[in-house]
């Protein structure tokens, strides 16, 4: 019974913790501009993050070492430094976007300007990281984040024409008002939103924090293979809600307040409240994960003592890194930069940096000396190599598409 | 630190600088009409968003706070559309005339949204608030036709 409860809890937190501000905003933007014609990217992205997380979780459970330690060992200090700089900056950008997301959601609930919420959100993130146990933090954010199921409920309440939605999914036709380059720009952005590198840093380092061993692999596999696809369905629900309500009115989403218009249309104030709670939980959970990931990457690269299972005094530089990152994110937001713009850029740059973290994990997961009997099977290798190609293509296309489309405008 | 050890940091910094310059210098732009059309499209989307939110409030389906935030966000969006037109250069007399019409139309749309914001803050939002937004939206649609937007 205890085992079943643990598996169910893991799956639920994986669903609730799957979405962050990048997923919420990008799916809503895409739904409002392209309908469900980019739904295939969500499917590709969800399978990709399942492959990536499953491999990195397995490597962490077998070796007891997290992603960045392995990257440094495999690539050498110089190449790993370039990897660290890119990953760290993108993680910082994502952290900034998540703190901004918390503030925007609280603004929606209170109409108090988001800049007044930003310092409170940043302090709350730091306090939770400082005081709350890893497992409690992960489970509470994931479970409350389940409130985002409200998007799926909203979709059913809207009573859409399922045939039209189905046609949008199957025929990847471009709306008259959009260009092909913009379509592909958002395809890359959506892929980057589904496969953000911080998720893998957090997942593999979390495995070490929780002391996973090979005995935990089955449960980890269940969490990933059941929880993430169900989280992907929530992503599609957000896009579908926007496609049903906003696309016909030519409302292209540029703010969080527009994302909730379909929800209100469907379920009124009650569903609006549920979604705001869900967005706060999802962005707060992601802010915790990105803050921890910042500490993990730098500490693991430098060989510092790290982990929440240690007292702050025993991992002082790890905690100091996180505090500085939260302060930098806070400082960036207080300049008045639009958190939604930061979010849109962070998902694109996530796609750019993805090969840097994916390749070392794929190499290690294939190394029989390192992995023993838990080395990648041939089926997993075929999928893993296919995703390496997809990831490299997305990474190479991201910046040219960003420049050609003027960041998708 | 040796010079070879510094290359990753240098190349990352150079790439970031190039990207910032490219993004802020409008590499994605493509002509006066395209800029005008884009600004009108964004203004229309902003007006429709506020209209939708006000209708939801009128039917008791949403909160005043959420509608206020929508109106503030959309005023910002129209402001961005307005700034784009300020930096749009026109090569012909026809383009200059179109630009002026777009400026006036977007300015009146901004006034309609700001009025809605004030009405919401004073709790005096009424059918006339919505009617002003709808009128501004119709005006945007008619100018968009001239620019070449469907």
Cβ of A85 within 8 Å of Cβ of B38? The answer is no
pLDDT, residue B31, reads: 79
Over chain B, what is the mean pLDDT?
83
Query: Over the stretch A280-332, which tens digit does the pLDDT of each residue have?
Result: 999 999 999 999 999 998 998 888 888 888 888 888 999 999 999 999 999 99
Cβ of B66 within 8 Å of Cβ of A264? The answer is yes
d(CA A235, CA A44): 13
Best residue in A32, A87, A111, A250 for a mutation probing chain B (most B CBs within 10 Å): A111
Cβ of B22 within 8 Å of Cβ of A403? The answer is yes
Task: Mark which residues 377-406 of A lie under 8 Å from B by CB.
Answer: 399, 402-406
Structure tokens at B150: 């469907």
Cβ of A269 within 8 Å of Cβ of B62? The answer is yes
Residues of A in contact with B56 (CB under 8 A): 261, 264-265
Query: Over the stretch A245-265, which tens digit does the pLDDT of each residue have?
Result: 999 999 999 999 999 999 999
CA nearest B63 in A: which residue?
A269
Query: Over the stretch A119-147, which tens digit does the pLDDT of each residue have?
Result: 999 999 999 999 898 888 888 888 888 99
Q: Per-residue pLDDT for B99 more than 60?
A: yes
Picking from A82, A264, A407, the nearest residue to B61 by CB comes out as A264
Give the number of C-alpha atoms closer than 13 A to the C-alpha of residue A237, restricted to the C-beta side.
23
Residues of A in contact with B41 (CB under 8 A): 177, 250, 252
Contacts of A383 (CB under 8 A, 6+ apart): A47, A51
Structure tokens at A9: 């809890």
More confident call, B46 vs A196: B46
User: Predicted confidence band at A367 (pLDDT cuts at 50, 70, 90)?
Assistant: confident
Q: Per-residue pLDDT for B30 more than 60?
A: no
Over chain A, what is the mean pLDDT?
89
Query: Over the stretch A160-179, which tens digit does the pLDDT of each residue have?
Result: 999 999 998 887 677 777 88
Best residue in A185, A255, A401 for a mutation probing chain B (most B CBs within 10 Å): A255
Cβ of A257 within 8 Å of Cβ of B27? The answer is no
CA nearest A82 in B: which residue?
B8
Q: Per-residue pLDDT for A49 more than 70?
A: yes
ipTM beyond cut 0.85: yes
pLDDT, residue A189, reads: 93
* CA-derived radius of gyration, chain A: 20
Cβ of B73 within 8 Å of Cβ of A255? The answer is yes
Structure tokens at A246: 């906003």
More confident call, B1 vs A139: A139
| Residue B79 in contact with partner chain A when CB distance is under 8 A | no
Asked if B129 and B53 count as a contact pair (C-beta separation under 8 A), the reply is no
d(CA B74, CA B79): 8
* CA-derived radius of gyration, chain B: 20
């Amino acid at each position: 019974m205890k085992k079943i409860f643990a598996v169910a809890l893991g799956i639920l937190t994986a669903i609730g913790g799957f979405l962050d501000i990048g997923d919420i905003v990008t799916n809503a933007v895409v739904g409002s501009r392209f309908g469900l014609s980019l739904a295939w990217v969500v499917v590709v992205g969800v399978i990709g993050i399942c492959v990536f997380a499953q491999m990195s979780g397995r490597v962490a459970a077998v070796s007891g070492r997290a992603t960045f330690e392995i990257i440094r060992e495999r690539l050498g200090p110089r190449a790993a430094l370039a990897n660290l700089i890119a990953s760290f900056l993108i993680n910082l950008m994502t952290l900034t976007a998540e703190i901004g997301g918390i503030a925007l959601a609280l603004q929606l609930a209170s109409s108090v300007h988001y800049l007044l919420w930003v310092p409170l959100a940043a302090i709350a993130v730091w306090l939770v990281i400082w005081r709350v146990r890893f497992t409690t933090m992960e489970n509470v954010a994931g479970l409350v984040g389940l409130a985002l199921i409200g998007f799926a409920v909203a979709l059913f309440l809207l009573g859409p024409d399922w045939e039209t939605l189905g046609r949008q999914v199957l025929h990847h036709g471009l709306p008259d008002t959009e260009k092909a380059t913009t379509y592909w720009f958002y395809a890359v952005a959506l892929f980057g939103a589904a496969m953000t590198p911080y998720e893998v840093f957090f997942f593999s380092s979390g495995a070490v924090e929780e002391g996973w061993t090979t005995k935990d692999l089955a449960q980890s596999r269940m969490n990933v293979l059941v929880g993430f696809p169900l989280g992907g369905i929530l992503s599609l629900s957000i896009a579908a809600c926007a496609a049903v309500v906003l696309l016909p009115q030519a409302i292209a989403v540029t703010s969080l307040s527009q994302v909730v218009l379909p929800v209100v249309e469907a379920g009124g104030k009650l569903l609006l409240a549920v979604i705001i709670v869900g967005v706060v939980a999802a962005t707060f959970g992601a802010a915790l994960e990105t803050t921890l990931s910042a500490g993990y990457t730098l500490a693991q690269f430098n060989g510092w003592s790290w982990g929440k299972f240690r007292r702050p005094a025993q991992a002082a530089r790890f905690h100091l890194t996180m505090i500085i990152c939260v302060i930098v994110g806070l400082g960036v937001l207080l300049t008045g930069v639009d958190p939604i713009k930061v979010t849109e850029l962070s998902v694109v740059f996530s796609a750019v940096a993805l090969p840097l973290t994916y390749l070392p994990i794929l190499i290690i997961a294939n190394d029989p000396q390192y992995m023993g009997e838990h080395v990648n099977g041939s089926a997993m290798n075929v999928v893993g190599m296919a995703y390496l190609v997809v990831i490299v293509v997305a990474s190479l296309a991201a910046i040219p598409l960003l420049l050609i489309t003027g960041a998708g405008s | 630190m040796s010079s070879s050890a510094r290359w990753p940091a240098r190349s990352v910094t150079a790439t970031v600088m190039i990207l910032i310059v490219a993004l802020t210098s409008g590499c994605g732009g493509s002509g006066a009409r395209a800029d005008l059309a884009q600004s009108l499209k964004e203004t229309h989307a902003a007006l429709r968003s506020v209209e939708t939110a006000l209708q939801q409030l009128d039917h008791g389906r949403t909160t005043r706070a959420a509608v206020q935030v929508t109106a503030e966000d959309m005023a910002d969006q129209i402001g961005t559309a307005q700034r784009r037109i300020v930096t749009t250069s026109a090569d012909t007399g026809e383009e200059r005339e179109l630009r002026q019409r777009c400026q006036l139309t977007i300015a009146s749309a901004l006034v309609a949204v700001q009025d809605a914001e004030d009405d919401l803050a004073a709790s005096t939002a009424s059918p006339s608030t919505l009617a002003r937004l709808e009128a501004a939206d119709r005006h945007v649609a008619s100018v968009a036709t001239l620019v070449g937007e469907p």
